[in-house]
């Protein structure tokens, strides 16, 4: 073996050892603080029982004279632990700034005892598993900051079923992101009620997006803003998509039909056609036009399946004389942008 190869092997060996030591050191820190009694400062939103959702923020001392911050977003009505994250080397002033920031957003944070926080986080982790939701990244690690080391037999007495059913409050993209199994099977469960909506605590999930945005330079952000529709418009369209899926899915079940697996894609195609048709009507000189069915399906790998899904969407739409009536069936008003009350509902040809 040459001297150069020997030195390279020694270097790789040292690197592997350093990586292993660093991994063990990080793991041991969280294991130690989970097992070591000590003061933990914990806050929660004052209306968590009424809202069915809890924002929990905790600060505690860590080995080496540092402090660890951990935060949790708990859904008490259905999905359990929605978010868990934290930071090291957080000062108490920084911790209080987070509490004050919540207050500025209209969320009143009050102190709670650590056992209550442990019960809520452990119960949320158990509920997530039982209802088929994935846990947030490194949830175990951040749960250990407040002393939670297991959750299989956690107490679920704080987790209610409003009206006797679990209640999932959120959007369809949010459900797709969190749910492990099939959305169709989830919506068929007789013990779950799906509600399109949001909560004052949803800003916690926005912090990460804001940090990512800061990584872009001004020119890059301008390019992004010019190439994408306004966020408000995207939010409105997403809400219509979500409400349409729930309404059409439930209507099909009530009519004795099985919702097509590509139903969401069928709704997307129909909604795109409606937007283009409305745009072409309002701007006759523009380039937007009603697409043919063949053109609309070119990006899908199974056009026949898409035709069947769109047919189910058409069956639902044909009940209504105007788009306004259909939007009301979705739980929306008739004044959505780009849709006129007396406009015909665009339907693909058979």
User: What pLDDT shows up at residue 207?
Assistant: 47
Rounded to 5°, angle at Cα 126 from 122 and 129: 145
User: What pLDDT shows up at residue 346?
Assistant: 42
Distance CA 271, CA 265 (A): 10
User: What pLDDT shows up at residue 338?
Assistant: 39
User: What pLDDT shows up at residue 146?
Assistant: 93
Distance CA 178, CA 172 (A): 10
Give the pLDDT confidence of 37-80 residue by residue, as tens digits: 678 999 999 999 999 999 999 999 877 778 889 999 999 999 99
pLDDT in tens, the chain (350 residues): 566 676 777 777 777 766 665 655 555 566 666 666 678 999 999 999 999 999 999 999 877 778 889 999 999 999 999 999 998 888 999 999 999 999 888 899 999 999 999 999 999 999 999 999 999 988 998 999 999 989 999 999 999 898 899 999 887 778 888 888 887 788 888 898 887 666 666 656 544 333 333 333 344 334 333 444 555 556 667 777 888 888 888 889 888 998 888 888 888 877 766 665 655 565 555 444 444 555 556 666 678 888 888 889 888 888 888 767 777 777 665 444 433 444 444 444 33
Tokens of 343: 């406009």
User: What pLDDT shows up at residue 279?
Assistant: 54
150 C-beta neighbours (distance < 10 Å), count: 11
Where in the chain are the domains?
40-204, 230-350
Distance CA 58, CA 44 (A): 9
User: What pLDDT shows up at residue 131?
Assistant: 94
């Amino acid at each position: 073996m040459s001297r150069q190869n020997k030195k390279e092997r020694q270097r790789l060996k040292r690197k592997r050892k350093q990586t292993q030591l660093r991994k063990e050191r990080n793991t041991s820190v969280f294991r130690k603080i989970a097992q070591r009694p000590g003061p933990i400062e914990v806050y929660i939103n004052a209306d968590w029982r009424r809202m069915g959702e809890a924002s929990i923020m905790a600060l505690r001392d860590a080995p080496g004279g540092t402090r660890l911050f951990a935060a949790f977003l708990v859904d008490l009505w259905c999905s359990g632990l929605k978010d868990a994250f934290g930071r090291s080397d957080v000062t108490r002033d920084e911790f209080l700034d987070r509490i004050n920031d919540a207050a500025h957003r209209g969320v009143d944070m009050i102190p709670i005892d650590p056992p209550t926080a442990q019960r809520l986080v452990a119960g949320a982790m158990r509920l997530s598993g039982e209802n088929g939701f994935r846990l947030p990244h490194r949830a175990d690690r951040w749960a250990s900051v407040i002393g939670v080391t297991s959750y299989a037999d956690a107490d679920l007495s704080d987790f209610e079923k409003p009206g006797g059913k679990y209640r999932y409050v959120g959007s369809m993209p949010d459900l797709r992101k969190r749910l492990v199994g099939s959305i169709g099977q989830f919506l068929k469960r007789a013990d779950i009620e799906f509600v399109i909506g949001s909560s004052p605590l949803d800003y916690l999930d926005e912090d990460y997006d804001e940090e990512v945005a800061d990584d872009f330079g001004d020119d890059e952000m301008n390019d992004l803003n010019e190439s994408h529709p306004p966020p408000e418009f995207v939010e409105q369209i997403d809400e219509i998509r979500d409400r349409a899926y729930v309404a059409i899915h439930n209507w099909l079940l009530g009519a004795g039909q099985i919702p097509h697996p590509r139903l969401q894609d069928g709704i997307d195609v129909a909604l795109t056609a409606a937007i283009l048709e409305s745009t072409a009507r309002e701007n006759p000189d523009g380039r937007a036009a009603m697409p043919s069915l063949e053109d609309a399906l070119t990006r899908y790998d199974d056009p026949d399946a898409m035709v069947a899904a769109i047919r189910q969407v058409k069956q639902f739409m044909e009940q209504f004389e105007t788009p306004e009536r259909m939007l009301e069936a979705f739980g929306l008003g008739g004044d959505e942008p780009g849709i006129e009350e007396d406009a015909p509902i665009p339907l693909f040809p058979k």
